Structure 1
Amino acid sequence: NSFCTLLASRPGTMDAPTCLALASNALLEGNHGAACEFYEVALKLAPNNVDVLEAYGEVLLHHARDPDRALQLLRHAAEVCPDEGHVKFGNLAQLTHGKESLGYYAKALTILRKDLARSKVREDKEAIRRSIAETKAAVAELYLTDLCDEPDAEEQCEKYVREALSSCSTCVDAYQALGSLRLTQECWPDAKAALVRAVELCTELEEALQPPYEARVELGKLLMQVSPRRAFEWLRAVLTLDPQNAYVWFLMGETARMRGKFHDACRLLKHARFSTGDPEALAEIDNAVRVLVEEMGGAEAVAQVPHMDQPNPLDFLDDDDDDVTDDDADSCATDSDDDAA
């Protein structure tokens, strides 16, 4: 663009460190577009600067939603600096699949172990141990997804979850991975305990230690299978971070249906439907609506739901006094919640 062209044509006015600082300031202000402009200038000035490559790659991955360009820059960063900087290898693992992803996680862990051995400051050691735990939790998740067909997938998943919690007992990702594993094993009480602990940690830890937004949504989705009421409470908190997220509205509607809160479900699913234009999302919502209408006994029952035209369904939520699906009833084996799952 013209901004990048102007700065790049006047090399004496800007250098890579200055561009990095300006990009960081733009990110702090939430201006991702401006940050990318400064990174582009920095990249033209110093195409092999690993700080530029890593920082820009991470922004492209997590904010600009350009995974192909992020992969290109981060692979180049790994070539320029293969033995330091675990973050780029963790990001590369997220951008790749299967054994390639596993290899990048292994490289990240190797670097983290070296960093831990060199570290002398207690706070630094704690931060590194947390990073090790988060990386091992990511490996565990890999064995639940891409590598689930490996003959030792379950054993490896157990191993990495256990090691993650050993490295850091307050790692949200580790408890979430443990809960996901227990769900696949149909160990409902253990799954619930792990996922509830993940939610508790999210409320206790400072914001810098919180999992990313997408992981918080996934946590709510997992928790729905063993504790719909807690899942609803959690998703409602997640919604405050992005009130326009149609998928969270949809999950809340589904959770309300699972709890027998049909009026809430109607209003929430309607709100979700009017919050998105994505064809796949609309198809998923419409399928949920069909299930809800059937469970309610037909369209006539839906027509009797009050406050359907109100803009905010959260203003008309039913009381929880008659909510029998959670939590006392599911404290033994989550019978009613298991049926819902």
Structure 2
Amino acid sequence: MNILELVQQNPQEAIDIVTKAAAAEPDKLDAQQLAAEVCFELGLAEQAYGYLQQTLHLDPDGTKGGYVKFLWLGQLIGGKTGINYYKQGINGLRQQPVEQSGPQIIKGLLGMIDIYMTDLCMEPEAEQVCEKLIAEALLLDDNHAEAWSILGSIRISQIRNDEAKQALEKSWSLFDKALLEAQLDTTSMPALVRLAQSMIELEMADLVLDLTTQATRLDDQVPDLYYLNALAHQQLMAQESDPAELNRHNAAIRDAIELLSQLDESVDPEMAAASNELVASLPPLTEPVLESDDENVEE
């Protein structure tokens, strides 16, 4: 088992191994870079940043240890400095064969878009740059599920909702295929959550139910999935007049929020409060709803 497989199965053991190795050999690039990667993958931003600074000291231009570390720095730092790190990483990766570097280049392009849609959204060139970056990403791979999701986000910001829906539908069809073929792991969860959030914004409730149900099979410890499932049922409930269907969606919302509440330690306080408000706003159940299956969230 390599260290990145261990990250999935026993994160704490993986951290212990790489941090001890990095401490023992502070001038060994491989040790510092591996520690940075493990910490980055586990969301330990401060620790990852510290190791990345050491890798920059040992390999400032990326010619020894590769260019991916610049993408990590871009994501961690954000803003204009983050954009510059992304550019440095992408320019280095472009020197390699595209079949080898393409996925990482796309990751960098999408990371830059994220910064331009958040930290730098008020910059006059933001929209034009995002259009250029997403076009390049899809040119490299027009079956990249997350790229289609990001395109949908861009179109939402432009209030081009019909085009946004088409992009989000395309994204989910690609993610769904990958899920069915067991080609995704838990590192895809943030992208799946963002896709579902965009779908909720456009009231694509049926697809959100499909996504959240499928995604809990990948990882059933993600609070966002249960909350988004509940919001999708709320949207469908608002469109219903049939008493039985209203009751079914009511029960499904309660079930999803109950499952969310069982993940106490990982639930954001704001999400917990919003979930409680959602349940409090519901009418009483008119009759029991029989369980149709054992899924974690209901479609």
> Above 0.5 in TM-score?
yes
State how 1:189-208 maps to structure 2 within 5 Å.
189-205=162-178
Q: CA deviation at 1:209?
A: 6.8
Residue 288 (1) aligns with residue 285 (2): no
Secondary structure (helix, strand or coil) at the match of 1:82 reads coil
The 3 A distance-change label for structure 1 pair 229 and 102 is same
Do the aligned residues in 2 keep the contact of 1:109 with 1:135 (CA within 8 Å)? Answer: yes
Secondary structure of the residue aligned to 1:26 is helix
Q: Give the equivalent residue in structure 2 for 1:254.
A: 231
Unaligned runs of 5+ in 2: 238-248
Distance 1:162 1:22 in 2: 35
Partner of 1:219: 195
Partner of 2:201: helix, strand, or coil? coil
Equivalent residues of 1:90, 1:108 under 8 A apart: yes
- Alignment partner of 1:304 is 2:277: no
Distance 1:24 1:159, change over 3 A: closer
Q: Map residues 270-285 of structure 1 onto 2, 5 A cutoff.
A: 270-276=258-264, 278=267, 279-285=269-275
Residues 202-245 of structure 1, C-alpha deviations (whole Å, 9 max, x = no match) = 23346667762111111111122331101110111111122232
CA, structure 1 residues 150+25, in 2 after alignment: closer, same or farther (shift >3 Å)?
closer
Name the SS for the 2:96 alignment partner. Answer: helix
CA distance in 2, matches of 1:82, 1:207: 38
8 Å CA contact 2:153–2:164 kept in 1: the answer is yes
Deviation at 1:246, TM superposition (A): 2.4
d(CA) in 2 for partners of 1:208, 1:314: 21
- Residue 114 of structure 1 and its aligned partner are, at CA, apart by 1.4
Moved over 6 A (4+): none
Correspondence 1:149 to 2:122: yes
- Residue 273 to residue 86, structure 1, CA distance change in 2 (3 Å): same
Counterpart code for 1:50: L
Is 2:81 the counterpart of 1:100? yes
**Alignment partner, residue 45 of structure 2:** 67
C-alpha distance in structure 1 between counterparts of 2:177 and 2:5, whole Å: 28
The normalised TM-score by structure 2 is: 0.83
Q: What is the CA deviation profile of residues 124-170 of structure 1, one whole-angstrom value per residue up to 9, with x for unaligned ones?
A: x3232232222112211221111101111111111111111112212
Residue 24 (structure 1) shift = 5.1
Task: Indicate whether 1:83 and 2:61 are aligned.
Answer: yes
Given the two structures, how large is their TM-score scaled by the length of structure 1? 0.74
Bigger radius of gyration: 1
- Structure-2 separation of matches of 1:159 and 1:262: 44
Letter in 2 for 1:180: S
Percent identity of paired positions between Structure 1 and Structure 2: 24
- Alpha-carbon distance in 2 for matches of 1:289, 1:47: 52
Asked if 1:228 corresponds to 2:190, the answer is: no
Shift of 1:303: 4.1
Provide the alpha-carbon RMSD of the alignment: 2.6
Residues 1:180 and 2:153 aligned together: yes
Which residue identity lines up with residue 90 of structure 1 in the other structure?
Answer: L
Q: Given that residues 27 and 35 in structure 1 are in contact (C-alpha distance below 8 angstroms), is that contact kept between their aligned partners in structure 2?
A: yes
**Is the partner of 1:37 in helix, strand or coil?**
helix
Amino acid of the residue matched to residue 38 of structure 1? Answer: I
Flag structure 1 segments of 5+ consecutive residues without an equivalent.
1-20, 117-124, 294-300, 319-341
How do 1:106-125 and structure 2 match up within 5 A? 106-116=87-97, 125=98
